[in-house]
Amino acid sequence: MSENKTLDNLMEAFAGESQANRKYLAYAKKAEKDGKMNAAKLFKAASDAETIHALKHFEVAGKIGSTVDNLKDGIAGETHEYKEMYPEFVKEAEAVGNKAALMTFTFAMKAEEVHARLYKEALENIDQEEEVFYYLCPICGNIEKMLPDKCSICGASGDKFIKY
């Protein structure tokens, strides 16, 4: 047994728990839509439990740095996604004619570019004391600093955006 193997295990557990969180949240939304509120509540509770596990694994793995380091990591991750990962996914979805996959990959790719830009801005203004608000499009994941009339990526109405 080695410390490297334990770190690998922590990161594998983090990935698994993170995916379980998202999966159970999706199941909760479906159960709500189906009017199965008890199942929805259970899936939401389990989703939150998986988040607790994932965050602790990530912390113990030593993956949470300073806010500056975390912003730099966010920039790198989002940049990789919109420049390298999603363009390949878009090409493949186009090649096979999967319009639904093409749409979700395209929306994500465009939103990840915005996220990278916002992380850069936050890093450049790390000591800014003026409060900033962010508005999230619940359809495509775009984030704006001002509430738009409509989403610049997917066209969703601005009144659907969630304020942070």
Total structural domains within the chain: 3
For residue 163, list its beta bridge partners: 135
**For each successive 10 residues of the chain (164 residues), what is the average pLDDT?**
91 98 98 98 98 98 98 98 98 98 98 98 97 97 98 98 98
Boundaries of domain holding 86: 65-128
* CATH number of the domain enclosing 164: 2.20.28
Q: Dihedral (C-alpha) 107, 113, 114, 117: value to the nearest 10 degrees?
A: 180
- The reported pLDDT for the residue numbered 37 is 98
**Angle, vertex CA 70, rays to CA 114 and CA 134, nearest 5:** 40
* CATH number of the domain enclosing 30: 1.20.1260.10
The pTM assigned to this predicted structure is 0.91
Do 69 and 115 reside in the same domain of the chain? Answer: yes
Do 100 and 151 reside in the same domain of the chain? Answer: no
Do 100 and 78 reside in the same domain of the chain? Answer: yes
Do 74 and 119 reside in the same domain of the chain? Answer: yes
- The reported pLDDT for the residue numbered 89 is 98
- The reported pLDDT for the residue numbered 1 is 72
CB 153 within 8 A of CB 136: no
Do 154 and 100 reside in the same domain of the chain? Answer: no
Of 50, 42, 52, 46, give the one whose Cα is nearest residue 19: 50
